[in-house]
Amino acid sequence: MPIEPQLRDDCQTKLKLTGVSKKYGDVDALVDADLLVRKGECVTLLGPSGSGKTTLLNIVAGLLPLDAGEVWIENKLSTRLPPFERDIGMVFQNYALFPHMSVYDNIAFPLRMRRMAKAEIRSRVLKTLAAVSLSDKGERMPSELSGGQQQRIALARALVYEPSIILMDEPLAALDKKLREQLQLEIRRVQRHLGITMLYVTHDQQEALLLSDRICLMNDARIVQVGTPDELYFRPETMFAANFIGESNIFPADVLDRSDGSVMLRGPGGCALRTTTDRAVSKGEVVTAMIRPERLRVRTGDHKATGENRIPARIEEKVFLGEATRYHASVSPRHTFVCKTLTTANTSSCGPGDDVVLEVDTDSIIILRDTGNVALQRLPDA
């Protein structure tokens, strides 16, 4: 995919990948990857296992040779540079702390390897300990710390020599859910406070949404889409993006008309859906459309009323989730939409068997770029 035009190659560019590819025998591990990371950004590589995330990270780190393409760090061609010349810090899932060294000495280690003066080492270590909220733990041994504290020490060791970029390879994957959520917030706080440029690998979509300035979504060794969390959630371009991040109602729709960017669709059950798109669609075409469950409003009492972006439906199932309520609503014999609403005092007003109308705004109906596994035969009349 092309490098995003809004991210020009300028003095703010920390990392640039162009056409990066890697094979293991006949198996593609990474195919033609283009990516820009700017100063102070946290960019997350998100995708399922085997999508190429760690391969891309290791190529950036210099731990893995590439077969094609270029790696630029701070506008310097770094494709063939060894890891120690790339000015990169790394944080691993297993922390990789030295068990026989104190916390202070673990953090000081990369500075001593660079032969810095003792006074400068002390100043930097104390400053970095404060940044990760562990100023009182300098004399402890790693075994005396919790898993979350050890991970913060690993982050501090990567921060202390002020590398150009910090790479993080699923650093929280081994932690329990509550601790992982706490550390996600801590990493985000430190990254923003210090203006760190970070490339972060995860397969957890919630982690990516929380941490990232932008997300690089990957699948089958390719970059699928790059954008802000809002863009990937509300404007996914492909079936994979729509399904991998969040929950989606995906359905075929007939294009009835198009004018000035406005498109009229005929959806399941014959409903009339108006949306806007920059996709090149034509009257008579069958496309794949998507609506997020929380963008559908469940209306009772006027279920016989018709009109644009009003979908007659029957509630098949209602699931109470505490702060939210999920409805499964049949909109045609072959299509059921999932709706999610905040639980209120009026939520109990409809249930299984009730006829309702599902309302949706024009900008909440997304026409996807590919069809995935949706069968795009013309819909039967209602």
Domains defined for the chain, CATH in brackets: 13-242 (3.40.50.300), 247-367 (2.40.50.100)
Separation of alpha carbons 72 and 10, rounded Å: 12
Separation of alpha carbons 221 and 37, rounded Å: 19
281 burial type by CB count under 10 A (0-12 exposed, 13-18 middle, 19+ buried): middle
pLDDT digits (tens, 9 = 90+) for 148-171: 888 888 888 888 888 889 999 988
Separation of alpha carbons 4 and 1, rounded Å: 9
Which pLDDT does position 371 carry in this prediction?
61
pLDDT digits (tens, 9 = 90+) for 264-288: 999 999 999 999 988 888 888 999 9
Terminal CA-CA length for the chain = 40
60 burial type by CB count under 10 A (0-12 exposed, 13-18 middle, 19+ buried): buried
Q: Does residue 375 have a pLDDT over 70?
A: no
- The model's pTM: 0.84
pLDDT digits (tens, 9 = 90+) for 40-86: 999 999 999 999 999 999 999 999 999 999 999 999 999 999 998 89
Separation of alpha carbons 332 and 141, rounded Å: 63
Q: Does residue 311 have a pLDDT over 70?
A: yes
- In terms of DSSP H, where are the helices of 237-336? 239-244
- Hunting for tokens 């390879």 — which residue is that? 169
